[in-house]
Chain A
């Protein structure tokens, strides 16, 4: 199935900004994170179709996935 993935901030470095990925049916967010090699300790926010979700959330055909690093302090 196809999902649309957008990476934010440093996650883009050496990867991509936005891309449609062909992934196995029923794939979870954390599996996408692992596939992309995103550093887990920096991982912060998951959005699926503009709603907050969890790394364990399952993806469906056509989902828009946004992966962001954590935000902290000032």
Chain B
């Protein structure tokens, strides 16, 4: 970034980001310093990419008109805690309106690739058209600025996400990587492709501990472009931590924002896995395709029931003080760590575990590991498989595919492998397309073509307005469960004011655990921007920029043909209310009608002209 102002709100044009546009067909590359249009451009991530996507008319995700935009946030690669994010944006192969037009989408992950990319001196890569041959892309810092090179990648074909990185690591030992797996390579039959991002721990240990930008099939779009991997090669340019940032980092680590994510031995809640216990108290842990049965089976994947049999290690991303994740390995006879299996976060554990009838931690871990290595979004994969299993339960005489049913590990494993290898377009196309082709969409758990995360829709009508995935682009998933809000006005306020602010993290380069409840419109972020860039930005200006970014996403959905009728939860939720969920019913047709009316009354006037 080139910065010539302390007031990026009044003078965004005095801030420029460095972009490289790569024509994959011709190999031509254009470098430019691009003046920012507004604060969203300055912040980066989807705040910038969605403005560029809005300029394009894209009717097919797999077309020359659809770019793949890879960028970072303003704070990516800074000394601020959690600043490791990379963003992948484009029109989604997976998320689409009923009219058939692809939705604009972004996906993000941590790992060390984003910081390395930022340190090459490049803020954004735009990939146009499609390479005729498989390539990987090397981005490196040079004496006269960043350099980008396309290299033949035939030798990487067919390798897993992790294997690709380890092969490239031998050639570029100082680099970090983003790669797709076989799923992304088979983009024609698999729209669930994720992009994996390398971690320090992974490259040092050789264990498959990637991070993932999973949502919306950005890995399939990368596969369509014929890009198998990105290599970011730069020296470490981490600046010394200022006193102001040090204070913020301490607050992040010790404060309410992330303390609950910390490991148990540090007095924390033990990561997102802890959600199992809480949601089970309400009988709201997704079970057998989002139909909790009021039984105790979800308890089998409680940490307390897994720990005696597996080695669990709390670990953090590189340089992050939030030790948010739990790595599961086989346990040796002496109690020591055996073979690494998978990272247990709430979403993949549930959606490739309890929600498909798998209650054995080892089996769930193996399915997560398979999905990761094949390079698929665990949410979309798990939910689409759950739909197949539910269909087979309803049609025992004429089941789909291999006839797998809930809990049949071997057959489910076969589905995951075949899907990842591009041999099962039925699952690879996602739950919306599959359910509509079968004429049974009511129990397909997606909204707007994107599969739901592992929070029951009965607890979150806000899913309807999420612009890039159910829980990470609309923070209402705890409004009923956690806050006990069951009146329409609280939900209107949540959706249209407070909870949409969660998407700010997907502009600025920080992980949501920085301060998941409050967003980026906080004094902590103001202090960091002042310290790192000399910016004078108010919390109000940050909130306003996030809101504009969110509304742009909503406007883009409508432009791509979504009707208001598509802003709805799966029909089964209202048509066949689940009697086992111990929470007030906020998904009756009457409640949803009132909510929809009030939310649109607020959003619609603000959408006019926002894409201009």
Beta-carbon contacts under 8 Å, A14-62 to B: 39, 41-42, 44-45, 50-53
Tell whether B279 is near chain A: CB-to-CB under 8 Å: yes
Tell whether A65 is near chain B: CB-to-CB under 8 Å: no
Q: Are A69 and B512 in contact (CB under 8 A)?
A: no
Q: Are B512 and A8 in contact (CB under 8 A)?
A: no
Q: Are B281 and A68 in contact (CB under 8 A)?
A: yes
Q: Are B482 and A71 in contact (CB under 8 A)?
A: yes
Q: A10-B270, A74-B471 are in contact. Are A69 and B278 (CB under 8 A)?
A: yes
Contact partner of A45 among B268, B345, B482, CB < 8 A? B482
Candidate in B264, B269, B345, B513 with the most chain A CB atoms within 10 angstroms = B269
Q: Are A9 and B277 in contact (CB under 8 A)?
A: yes
Question: Complex: how many Å from CA A13 to CA B265?
Answer: 12
B250 CB → nearest A CB, Å: 14
Q: Are A72 and B345 in contact (CB under 8 A)?
A: no
A3 CB → nearest B CB, Å: 17
Main secondary structure of the interface of A (DSSP, over half): mixed
Contacting residues, chain A, for B267 (C-beta < 8 A): 39, 41-42
Q: A71-B482, A73-B346 are in contact. Are A45 and B260 (CB under 8 A)?
A: no
Q: Are A72 and B281 in contact (CB under 8 A)?
A: no
Contact partner of B516 among A44, A50, A72, CB < 8 A? A72
Q: Are B259 and A72 in contact (CB under 8 A)?
A: no
Interface size on B, residues (CB 8 A): 35
Q: Are B582 and A42 in contact (CB under 8 A)?
A: no
Q: Are A68 and B347 in contact (CB under 8 A)?
A: no
Contacting residues, chain B, for A42 (C-beta < 8 A): 259-260, 267-269
Question: Complex: how many Å from CA A13 to CA B274?
Answer: 13
Kindly supply a per-residue 1/0 record for chain B positions 517-556, scoring 1 wherever the CB is within 8 Å of any chain A CB and 0 otherwise.
1000000000000000000000000000000000000000
Q: Are B481 and A69 in contact (CB under 8 A)?
A: no
Question: Complex: how many Å from CA A18 to CA B512?
Answer: 34
Question: Complex: how many Å from CA A73 to CA B471?
Answer: 8
Contact partner of A69 among B269, B483, B517, CB < 8 A? B269
Question: Complex: how many Å from CA A69 to CA B269?
Answer: 7
A70 CB → nearest B CB, Å: 5
Contact partner of A73 among B278, B481, B513, CB < 8 A? B513
Contacting residues, chain A, for B264 (C-beta < 8 A): 10, 13
Beta-carbon contacts under 8 Å, B246-263 to A: 255-256, 259-261
A67 CB → nearest B CB, Å: 10
Closest chain B residue, CB of each to CB of A39: B267
Beta-carbon contacts under 8 Å, B267-289 to A: 267-270, 272, 274-275, 277-279, 281
Q: Are A41 and B256 in contact (CB under 8 A)?
A: yes
Contacting residues, chain A, for B517 (C-beta < 8 A): 72
Contacting residues, chain A, for B100 (C-beta < 8 A): none
Tell whether B454 is near chain A: CB-to-CB under 8 Å: yes
Contact partner of A9 among B269, B346, B471, B516, CB < 8 A? B269
Q: A9-B269, A41-B260, A66-B281 are in contact. Are A71 and B275 (CB under 8 A)?
A: yes
Q: Are B347 and A74 in contact (CB under 8 A)?
A: yes
A30 CB → nearest B CB, Å: 16
Tell whether B484 is near chain A: CB-to-CB under 8 Å: yes
Which residues on A are within 8 Å of B, measured CB to CB? Answer: 8-10, 13, 39, 41-42, 44-45, 50-53, 66, 68-74
4 nearest interchain CB pairs?
Answer: A52-B484, A9-B277, A74-B347, A71-B278
A and B contact pairs by CB, cutoff 8 A, 25 listed? A8-B278, A9-B269, A9-B274, A9-B277, A39-B267, A41-B255, A41-B256, A42-B259, A42-B269, A44-B482, A45-B484, A51-B484, A52-B484, A68-B278, A69-B277, A71-B275, A71-B478, A72-B261, A73-B272, A73-B512, A73-B513, A74-B345, A74-B455, A74-B471, A74-B472
Beyond known contacts A42-B260, A71-B275, A72-B275: 5 more, CB 8 A cutoff: A8-B278, A9-B277, A69-B274, A73-B275, A74-B275
